[in-house]
């Protein structure tokens, strides 16, 4: 008896090899394959091949989906065509990603009309496509595929016209397509997923959450949908809801990297520093789609630094290599490329010498107004809320935030505000702040970076103890002086110690990076 052995076929490698051929197949070969269009959708695809070959045994090996064709199945492949390339072609077809089944039984009877409208859409004739699909929906209101095509065409027209009203029409039509009876599960999935994406694009976060909740209800075994639902909770600022979702995901799929990085991110936001580290680390190491994000490298490194683990800089370096950080030291995430980058600046380098001279000339006036506010009501100095302190007390009294005055804060320090209003590079800096900062003895501020490279930060010393107060930016440590301005780029790592025996008071003034154009200063989003 002859024994025939067939190796397991890794179809990922088959696809990779097939992409190298770049061949046009002959009409004869196409005709041979069309003869096996078993599902009547007009082409030969993986579903047809499955019918042709009979049942296939699906295996799990090294995380990949693989098939072991039986001897009889191989013989059937050989019968299609005697040439080796036909055999290879069929393996390639089997390996192709399953094409979504968008046509129900009725839709197949009008497939030619739907295909004609879809052809217009794919050719970029979006207005004609929309009219064609509108006509189809009017003629066949019970057709889920026609209505889904109408939604896609509206979506395309919205992109072309940059029209939120048209996009809202598309969002509504996606819902209508999904609600029609006899919509295929693939169409239902595609319509609702796109609806959720476009709702998020319009800022309809709550609506997107509802759509994703419905998807998870319909497809409870789909882990990727639950991951998307977790992100929707995060976009709403609902960390508690997101945490619950990711706990469910990790209970069902303990090695899911996407869920791990997001769950670690949430734990970090809850100040569960040590607990967050393995989730962030293992999630990043998984390399799964959606994990290669600068925020996760940022927070893993920060968590490691806070537990005294110097491997933080290994992850910062990886983040830099992946293009998320400008360098190991400069780790801001909201940046404009090409700006001059250095940790410490001189007044002359900034071009803001007039502002620096004004601050240093009037430092006693600024100091006296700050002290008066402190004496009257220390409650106006709000404790730092960004979880940057390891220990101690650190209060801030903000005058400008994101280029706008904060409430009536200037009423307490009118002379200071009057002086600053002559300097729009500071008061108009939408990515910065102007504030007083008081730090009490025994305070340590963790190494951290600011959010953007679009600003520089000035520190004017007002009340500085003789010893014990210092600031490090990258590898250089400096001390404040009363009446003098220090300038640094806070997108670089910096750290502060207050080991004196009395409080330290400074005035912080953020200014636009001097290389930003007037147009950029006007159009950059606030931070």
Ranges of each domain in the chain:
11-94, 105-265+275-282, 344-523
As a whole-number percent, the residues of the chain with pLDDT over 90 amount to 79
Q: What's the mean pLDDT in 297-325? A: 97
Joined together, the tokens standing for residue 233 give 């909770």
Most confident of 58-62, 81-85, 388-392, 483-487: 483-487
Q: Which of 59-68, 217-226, 362-371 has the lowest mean pLDDT?
A: 59-68
Q: Do 18 and 88 touch, CB atoms closer than 8 A?
A: yes
Mean pLDDT of 423-433: 98
Sign of the C-alpha dihedral, residues 75, 77, 80, 85?
Answer: negative
Instruction: Compute the average pLDDT of residues 146-165.
Output: 97
Q: Are 492 and 432 in contact (CB under 8 A)?
A: no
Instruction: Please report the pLDDT score of residue 87 as a whole number.
Output: 53
Check pLDDT > 80 for residue 128.
Answer: yes
Q: For the segment 206-245, what is each residue's pLDDT rounded down to a tens digit? A: 999 999 999 999 999 999 999 999 999 999 999 999 999 9
The pLDDT-based confidence of 484 (bands split at 50, 70, 90) is very high
pLDDT band, residue 91 (cuts 50/70/90):
low
Q: Which of 30-39, 132-141, 275-284, 376-385 has the lowest mean pLDDT?
A: 30-39
CB-CB contact of 91 with 85 (8 Å):
no
Query: What CATH topology corresponds to 344-523?
Result: Jelly Rolls (2.60.120)
Contact predicate 495/448, CB 8 Å = yes
Q: What is the DSSP letter of 481?
A: -
The domain 105-265+275-282 belongs to what CATH superfamily? Tetratricopeptide repeat domain (1.25.40.10)
Chain segment 252-279, per-residue pLDDT in tens: 999 999 999 999 999 999 999 999 999 9
Tokens read off for 462: 């007002």
438 sits in the region (left: phi over 0; alpha: psi -120 to 50; else beta) called beta
Contact in structure between 291 and 258 (CB atoms under 8 Å)? yes
Minimum mean pLDDT among 24-38, 208-222, 322-336: which range? 24-38
Averaged confidence pLDDT in the chain: 87
Q: What is the pLDDT of residue 99?
A: 85
- Band of pLDDT at residue 158, cut at 50, 70 and 90: very high
pLDDT at 83 over 90: no
pLDDT of amino acid 378:
57
């Amino acid at each position: 008896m002859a024994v025939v052995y067939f190796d397991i076929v890794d179809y990922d490698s088959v696809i990779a090899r097939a992409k190298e051929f770049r061949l046009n197949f002959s009409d004869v070969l196409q005709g041979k394959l069309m003869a096996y269009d078993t599902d009547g959708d007009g082409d030969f695809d993986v579903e047809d091949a499955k019918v042709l070959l009979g049942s296939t045994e699906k295996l799990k090996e090294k995380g990949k989906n693989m098939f072991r064709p039986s001897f009889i199945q191989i013989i059937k492949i050989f019968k299609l065509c005697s040439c080796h390339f036909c055999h290879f072609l069929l393996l390639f077809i089997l390996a192709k990603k399953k094409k979504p089944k968008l046509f129900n039984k009725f839709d197949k009877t009008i497939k030619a009309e739907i295909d004609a409208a879809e052809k217009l859409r794919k050719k970029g004739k979006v207005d004609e496509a929309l009219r064609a699909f509108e006509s189809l929906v009017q003629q066949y209101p019970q057709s889920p595929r026609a209505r889904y095509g109408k939604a896609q065409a509206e979506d395309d027209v919205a992109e072309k016209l940059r029209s939120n009203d048209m996009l809202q029409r598309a969002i509504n039509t996606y819902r209508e397509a999904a609600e029609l009876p006899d919509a295929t599960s693939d169409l239902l999935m595609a319509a609702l997923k796109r609806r959720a994406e476009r709702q998020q694009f319009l800022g309809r976060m709550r609506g997107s959450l509802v759509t994703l909740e419905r998807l998870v209800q319909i497809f409870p075994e789909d882990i990727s949908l639950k991951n998307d639902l977790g992100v929707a909770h995060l976009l709403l600022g609902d960390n508690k809801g997101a945490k619950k979702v990711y706990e469910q995901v990790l209970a069902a799929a303990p090695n899911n990297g996407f869920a791990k990085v997001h769950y670690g991110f949430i734990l970090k936001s809850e100040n569960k520093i040590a607990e967050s580290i393995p989730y962030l680390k293992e999630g990043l190491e998984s390399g799964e789609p959606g994990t290669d994000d600068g925020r996760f490298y940022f927070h893993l490194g920060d968590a490691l630094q806070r537990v005294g683990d110097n491997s933080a800089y290994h992850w910062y370096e990886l983040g830099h290599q992946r293009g998320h950080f400008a360098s190991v030291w400069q780790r801001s995430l909201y940046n404009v490329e090409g700006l001059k980058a250095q940790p410490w600046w001189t007044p002359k380098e900034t071009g803001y010498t007039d502002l620096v001279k004004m601050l240093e000339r009037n430092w006693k006036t600024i100091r006296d107004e700050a002290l008066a506010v402190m004496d009257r009501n220390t409650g106006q100095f709000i404790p730092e809320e960004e979880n940057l302190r390891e220990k101690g007390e650190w209060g801030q009294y903000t005058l400008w935030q994101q280029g706008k005055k904060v409430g009536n804060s200037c009423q307490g320090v009118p002379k200071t505000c009057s002086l600053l209003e002559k300097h729009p590079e500071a008061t108009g800096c939408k990515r910065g702040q102007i504030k007083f900062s008081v730090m009490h003895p025994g305070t340590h501020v963790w190494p951290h970076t600011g959010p953007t490279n679009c600003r520089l930060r000035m520190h004017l010393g007002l009340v500085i103890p003789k010893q014990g107060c210092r600031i490090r930016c990258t590898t250089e440590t400096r001390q404040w002086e009363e009446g003098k301005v220090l300038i640094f780029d806070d997108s670089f790592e910096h750290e502060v110690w207050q080991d004196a025996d009395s409080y330290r008071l400074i005035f912080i003034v953020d200014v636009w990076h001097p290389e930003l154009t007037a147009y950029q200063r006007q159009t950059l989003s606030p931070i």
